[in-house]
């Protein structure tokens, strides 16, 4: 558990976190608009700014007490920054060896193993100045892992990358967090990165921590800051099944199954499904004679107030997960939808988050 109450002034900006407790398991996203204090909080947590004041402990170990600080090197933190921060005069191997020399004793083949795991083994003798942005971030991740950190801090590591590099690195970061068991603090202002990676979310605004929620709790709120111009979003967790003779691939669990087609069926490692509320329709009776493949029994849990003629309906699936549907206020009245009613959700489109 990461427990603290930190203050830090940087110029005219003042961080006053307020008391917080963050579980040290999985990936925690620090989310907020530019200037909300995400990076300042990370600097305070990691001890990178000596002007930090307050209290902080990591799994019971004291890291900050008033003006006293445990030096950053003794906190055993791995860092991955937006610009990768590699040594330009060294090769990929040289950058990794530099980290290895300052790390706890590693196996003789640790460098090769980590290079292979992050996909840069074929680049080891290449200058880092010749790498793409995505490759540079892979080196930065490998370098951080070689230090055997107790905590990994990633400050907007994907923000400068193109969509293809982001799509490749998102599952890698997720998989490494699960494989190593190292807790990750991940700064981002992109909701889709939070939805893909986070176990929990620290919402920040104007230098304060507003609230800390699990991803499910954050997406269940009608006023969730994660909802952008695409509107309300659901993220369902599950696993991929085997593709059948009709080319359909099931995703889900023993209670809820969603059939996928096309490129989705190729993303075998996907564990999350992103569904826009506007791509979900509702029916009072089980649909028949329709081309939409997925219609799931649900219980209406909540109906949010109308906005511009539309309402968001929170539906509870049979496995307990929440699915949001956005329909017209007129349709809500026509169907007579009320909390507690049974219905069927028809899912028109999905996006696998691999």
What residues contact residue 177 under an 8 Å CB cut-off, 6+ apart? 26, 27, 152, 183, 184, 197
**Domain boundary, last residue among 220, 251, 277:** 220
| Residues 201, 255 within the same domain | no
pLDDT one-digit tens code per residue, 211-254: 999 999 999 998 999 998 899 999 999 998 888 888 888 999 99
349 SS3 class = coil
pLDDT score recorded for residue 84: 81
SS3 314: strand
Least Cα distance to 257 among 203, 293, 205, 299 occurs for 293
What's the structural domain count of the chain? 2
pLDDT score for 351: 66
| 335 and 310 both lie in a single domain | yes
Interval 31-42 mean pLDDT: 94
Contacts with 319 (C-beta within 8 Å, 6 or more apart), sequence order: 252, 253, 254, 255, 256
Side-chain half-sphere CA neighbours of 334 within 13 A:
7
Structure token digits, residue 100: 């290895």
Name the packing angle between helices 110-118 and 92-101 (round to 10°): 130
Are 183 and 289 in contact by the 8 Å Cβ rule? The answer is no
Mean pLDDT: which of 100-109, 176-185, 239-248 is highest?
A: 176-185
Which pLDDT score, from 0 to 100, does residue 244 have?
Answer: 85
Q: What distance in Å separates the CA atoms of residue 159 and residue 148, rounded to the nearest whole number? A: 25
Range of the domain at 107: 2-220
Assigned domain for 227 exists: no
Q: Do 127 and 201 belong to one domain?
A: yes
Outline where 181-314 has alpha helix (H).
Answer: 191-197, 215-220
SS3 42: helix
* 265 has a pLDDT exceeding 70: no
Q: Which residues of 186-205 are buried (b: 16+ CB within 10 A; e: fewer)?
A: bbbbbbbbbbbbbbbbbbbe
Same domain, 38 and 186: yes
118 and 37 housed in the same domain: yes
Instruction: Give yes or no for residue 127 having a pLDDT over 90.
Output: yes
Whole-number Å distance between alpha carbons of 300 and 218: 19
Check whether residue 62 and residue 123 sit in a common domain.
Answer: yes
Of the candidates 220, 245, 268, which is a domain's last residue? Answer: 220
Going by C-alpha positions, the residue among 50, 58, 1 that lies closest to residue 24 is 1
For the segment 308-327, the average pLDDT, to the nearest whole number, is: 96
Tell me which of 270 and 88 has the higher pLDDT. Answer: 88
CATH code: domain of residue 264: 2.40.50.100
310 forms beta bridges with 307, 328
Looking at the structure, tell me whether residues 189 and 60 fall in a common domain: yes
The string of pLDDT tens digits covering residues 43-94 is 999 999 999 999 999 999 999 999 999 999 999 999 999 888 899 999 999 9
CB of 249 closer than 8 Å to CB of 259 = yes
pLDDT, residue 79, reads 94
Task: State whether the Cα torsion 56-61-65-68 is positive or negative.
Answer: negative
Q: What is the pLDDT of residues 129-168, one digit of tens each?
A: 999 999 999 999 999 999 899 999 999 999 989 989 998 9
- Please, is 256 exposed, middle or buried when counting C-beta atoms within 10 Å of its C-beta (0-12, 13-18, 19+)? buried
**Is it the case that residue 186 has pLDDT exceeding 70?**
yes
Percent of the chain with pLDDT over 90: 80
pLDDT > 80? residue 322: yes
Note whether 197 and 263 are same-domain residues: no
pLDDT band at 266 (very low <50, low <70, confident <90, very high): low
**Residue 230: how many other CB atoms lie within 10 Å:** 13
Residue 144, pLDDT score: 95
Tell whether 55 and 176 lie within a shared domain: yes
Q: Examine the pLDDT at 264 and tell me if it is beyond 80.
A: no
> Does residue 195 share a domain with residue 52?
yes
Asked whether the beta carbons of 189 and 156 are under 8 A apart, the reply is: yes
* pLDDT per residue as tens digits for the range 191-211: 999 999 999 999 999 999 999
Give the pairing type, strands 200-205 and 208-214.
antiparallel
What the block records as the tokens of 352 is 């696998």
Last residue of a domain, one of 185, 220, 255: 220
Distance between CA atoms of residues 97 and 102, nearest Å: 9
Higher pLDDT, 268 or 88: 88
Tell whether 172 is covered by a domain. yes
The pLDDT of residue 263 is above 90: no
Is residue 296 domain-shared with residue 208, that is, in the same domain?
A: no
Residue 267: pLDDT band by 50, 70, 90 thresholds?
low
pTM of the model: 0.91
Tell me what the pLDDT averaged over the chain comes to: 92
Domain harbouring 75, CATH code: 3.40.50.300
């Amino acid at each position: 558990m990461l427990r603290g109450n930190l203050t830090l002034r940087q110029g005219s900006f003042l961080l006053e976190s307020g008391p917080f407790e963050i579980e040290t398991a999985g990936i925690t996203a620090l989310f907020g608009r530019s200037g909300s204090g995400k990076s300042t909080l990370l600097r305070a947590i990691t001890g990178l700014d000596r002007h930090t004041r307050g209290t902080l402990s990591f799994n019971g170990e004291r890291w900050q007490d008033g003006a006293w600080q445990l030096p950053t090197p003794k906190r055993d933190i791995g860092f991955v920054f937006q610009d990768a921060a590699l040594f330009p005069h060294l090769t990929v191997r040289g950058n990794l060896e530099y980290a290895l020399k300052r790390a706890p004793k590693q196996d003789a083949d640790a460098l090769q193993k980590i290079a292979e795991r992050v996909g840069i083994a074929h680049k080891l003798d290449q200058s880092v100045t010749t790498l793409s942005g995505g490759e540079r971030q892979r080196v930065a991740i490998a370098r951080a892992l070689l230090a055997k950190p107790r905590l990994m801090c990633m400050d907007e590591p994907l923000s400068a990358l193109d969509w293809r590099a982001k799509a490749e690195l998102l599952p890698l970061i997720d998989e490494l967090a699960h494989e190593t068991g190292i807790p990750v603090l991940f700064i981002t202002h992109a909701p889709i990165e939070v939805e893909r990676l986070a176990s929990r979310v620290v919402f920040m605004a104007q230098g304060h921590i507003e609230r800390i929620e699990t991803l499910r709790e954050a997406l269940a709120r009608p006023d969730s800051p994660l909802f952008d111009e695409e509107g309300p979003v659901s993220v369902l967790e599950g696993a991929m099944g085997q593709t059948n003779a009709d080319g359909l691939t099931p995703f889900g669990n023993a209670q809820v199954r969603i059939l996928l087609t096309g490129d989705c069926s190729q993303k075998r490692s996907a564990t999350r499904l992103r569904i826009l509320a506007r791509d979900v329709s509702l029916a009072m009776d089980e649909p028949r004679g329709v081309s939409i493949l997925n219609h799931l029994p649900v219980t209406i849990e909540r109906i949010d107030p109308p906005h511009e003629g539309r309402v968001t309906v929170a539906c509870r699936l049979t496995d307990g997960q929440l699915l949001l549907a956005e329909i017209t206020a007129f349709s809500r009245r026509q169907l007579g939808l009320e909390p507690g009613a049974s219905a069927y959700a028809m899912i028109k489109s999905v996006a696998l988050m691999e």
